Amino acid sequence: MTKLPSATATFGGMLGALLVGLLVAPLGALAWKVGPSDLAAGLAHPTFAAALGLTLRTTLVSLGATVLLGTPLAWWLARSPTRAAKVTSVLVELPIVIPPAVIGVGLLQTFGRQGIFGPLLEQFGLSVPFTPSAVVLAQLVVSAPFYVQGAASAFRKVDPELLVVARTLGASQGEAFVRVALPVARPGLLAGASLAWARAIGEFGATLLFAGNMPGTTQTMPLAIFSALESDVRAAVVLSLVLATTGAGLLLALRWAVRSADRARTP
């Protein structure tokens, strides 16, 4: 009887190690395949600088819009017990489970020339598909649910009594939100924002269908990798390694930011 838990733990550890190996192996293979000369050639590839710059610009814009629009929405979802809030929460989470290609087609049917808002936009001389704006919209739709989900979860952990105390001390609802709720929920907000940014950086399917794959205009890093595979596998591997390194850097920054926020909040 005393050996059963130990044997179970050992078996579980072996299975866990197998899963960890499967998760890490592709990243290790990228690093193993790229030598200094390959790295230099990949970084000098004509599509690298443009794709990286476009990815950083568009994802920062989409992240800013996500935080600006998603924070009040997350607060309402966390504090409202109504049926409307529950239905809205489900609608917000839908893009997480819907394939990005479906979202891309849906965006075309919404903002395309023959879409719902296409004729209206055309009257103002605006065209969204196959422009950098389309890249931002695609990234926003697929990544915003991750921030709203994390922010709502963080806001649910805010003690309502803290807000009541702030109000009794003369703070308005807005001041109580900014000075009490936001600092308390900061670790969760940072985690949600980091996940949303990482998802936006890796977005592929919706961007390809809605924005296209035009170098220098709508070609982000994932699309550049896709194009490089057709002609230069070495460049594709280098671009993949850079994107993986970026994701790892985001993960480390996320952990550091959350721990720093926790230390700042704890007396």
Q: Identify the pLDDT of residue 1.
A: 46
The whole-angstrom separation of Cα 30 and Cα 241 is: 6
Residue 113 pLDDT > 90:
no
Q: What is the pLDDT of residues 40-72, one digit of tens each?
A: 777 777 788 888 899 999 999 999 999 999 999
CATH code for the domain defined by 57-265 = 1.10.3720.10
The answer, as to whether pTM is greater than 0.75, is: yes
Give the mean model confidence (pLDDT) for residues 103-123. Answer: 91
* 239 Cα distance to chain centroid: 19
Cβ contacts of residue 192 below 8 Å, gap of 6+? Answer: 74, 146, 147, 148, 149, 150, 151, 153, 154
Q: What is the pLDDT of residues 14-41, one digit of tens each?
A: 888 888 888 888 778 777 777 777 777 7
Asked if 173 contacts 105 with a C-beta cutoff of 8 angstroms, the reply is no
Higher confidence at residue 235 or residue 109?
109
Asked if 262 contacts 186 with a C-beta cutoff of 8 angstroms, the reply is no
Sign of CA dihedral 99, 118, 89, 173: positive
At 16, which amino acid appears? G
The whole-angstrom separation of Cα 109 and Cα 104 is: 9
Q: Within a 10 A sphere around the Cβ of 167, how many other Cβ atoms?
A: 14
Map out the domains of the chain as residue ranges. 57-265
The whole-angstrom separation of Cα 217 and Cα 211 is: 9
175: nearest Cα among 187, 186, 162, 159: 162
The whole-angstrom separation of Cα 128 and Cα 135 is: 9
Cβ contacts of residue 264 below 8 Å, gap of 6+? Answer: none
What is the chain's mean pLDDT, rounded?
86
Residue 2 pLDDT > 70:
no
The whole-angstrom separation of Cα 136 and Cα 231 is: 27
Q: What is the pLDDT of residues 155-193, one digit of tens each?
A: 999 888 888 888 888 778 888 888 888 888 988 898 899
Asked if 156 contacts 77 with a C-beta cutoff of 8 angstroms, the reply is no
